[in-house]
Amino acid sequence: MAEIYHDEDANLSIIQSKKVAIIGYGSQGHAHALNLRDSGVDVVVGLRPGSKSIAKAEEAGIKVASVPDSVKGADVVMILAPDQYQRTIWTEDIEPNIKEDAAIFFAHGFNIHFGYIKPAAGHDICMVAPKGPGHTVRRTYEEGRGVPVLVCVEQDASGQALDLALSYAAAIGGARAGAIKTSFREETETDLFGEQAVLCGGVTQLIEYGFETLTEAGYQPEMAYFEVLHEMKLIVDLINEGGLTKQRWSISDTAEYGDYVSGPRVITPNVKDNMKGVLDDIQSGAFAKRFIEDQNEGGPEFHRLRDEHAAAPIEKVGQEIRKMFAWNTENLDTDYTEGSAAR
C-alpha cells in the first residue's frame, strides 16, 4: 500500500521560512502561487517579458519578476511551464541564475525522468503534483479542503527534501486530502500511460469509433452524438463518485447487463496487448523522444493531428448540439485549436 501523509505529518513552517519562485502562472501556476501566499509563504512568479499572465498575477496581488530575477534569491523553484518548454527555460533562464543549494520542484516528472533537465548535485529535486486542475486546487483550498497530491524526491542533497516537499504540499492544501508518496519514474510513466491508453487517447478514440459505427449504419448524427459522447459525463461522474460498482448500480439493468456481455466484445484482450505496447514506448523513452523531436521542429505532427481531429464529423455535430444547452453558452465561442488550457 502507498504511504499517505496528511497535515499532521507536515511542518508548514519549513516552507514558510523559504522564498519560493513559481515559474509560470497558468492552470497550476496561479493555484500554487495564491495558495502558498495565503499560507504565509513569500512567493514571486517568474514570467517572460510580454506574458499575458503578468497582469493577472499582479491583479491578484502576487509579486512578478522575470524568470532569471525570480530565481536568483529563491530557496525553492517550482517549474510549472509546459513540458516541452521546461528544458529551454531551465537552460536559458534558471540554471545560470539559481542558487547552488536551491530546491527544484516539479508537478510532473517528464523532464527529470527522461533526462531533459539535469540539475547539479547540490539541489534537492522534488515533486508535488496535485491530482486535479488548478482551478480545483485553488477553489478547494479556499473552502478549507484540498486536492490529493503526489509527493516524491529524486535527489536529496539537503537530507531533508521529503520534509520540504511535504511542507509545500501542506501549503497548497494537498496534505489536507492526502499526499501520496511515489517516485518520479512511477508518476511519469503511469501519468503518460493513463492519458494515452485510457483517459484521453483511449476514451476519445472509443467515442469517435462509436459515432462512426452508428452514423455509417444510417442513424442520425445527432442521435449518435447524444448516445456516445453527451452521456459520457454522467457515466464518468458516477465512476468518480463511487467507482465502477456505483456506476453499474446507478444505470438500468439493461445497461448493466450490456456492460458485462458486450464490453469484452469491444475491448478485447488484444486491446490490453496494445496498451502494453504503449507502456513499452513510454518506459523506453520512445514516446518522449518522438514528442520532443516534433516540438523541436515546431510541432508539425502535433498540429496536423490537432487539426485533423478538430475537423472530425462528431466535432461539427457537437458544436450545433451544444447550442441547445443554455448552461453551456459561455463556452460556445471558445477556440480550442490554439493551445492547451493547462498552460
Active site residues: 108
Q: Determine whether the annotation assigns residue 51 to a binding site.
A: yes
Q: Determine whether the annotation assigns residue 25 to a binding site.
A: yes
Q: Determine whether the annotation assigns residue 53 to a binding site.
A: yes
Q: Determine whether the annotation assigns residue 195 to a binding site.
A: yes
Burial of 100 (0-12, 13-18, 19+ CB in 10 A): exposed
Q: Which three cell numbers stand for residue 153?
A: 524526491
In this structure, which amino acid lies at residue 262? S
The rounded distance, in Å, linking the Cα atoms of 91 and 80 is 15
Count the Cβ atoms, other than its own, within 10 Å of residue 293.
Answer: 10
Q: Determine whether the annotation assigns residue 216 to a binding site.
A: no
Maximum CA extent, the chain = 66
Q: Determine whether the annotation assigns residue 227 to a binding site.
A: yes
Helix residue ranges, H only, the chain:
12-16, 27-38, 53-59, 67-72, 83-89, 110-113, 134-142, 161-171, 174-177, 184-193, 201-216, 221-225, 232-250, 253-266, 269-284, 286-296, 300-310, 313-321
The DSSP 8-state label assigned to residue 285 in this structure reads: T
Parallel, antiparallel, or unpaired for β 4-5 and 179-181? antiparallel
Nearest to 75 by CA among 156, 178, 135, 164: 164
Q: Is 38 helix (H, G, I), strand (E, B) or coil?
A: helix
Nearest to 3 by CA among 136, 133, 160, 186: 186
Q: Determine whether the annotation assigns residue 48 to a binding site.
A: yes
Residues of each annotated binding site: 25-28, 48, 51, 53, 134, 191, 195, 227, 231, 252
Annotated binding site for Mg(2+): 191, 195, 227, 231
Residues annotated within a binding site for NADP(+): 25-28, 48, 51, 53, 134
Instruction: Provide the annotated binding site for substrate.
Output: 252
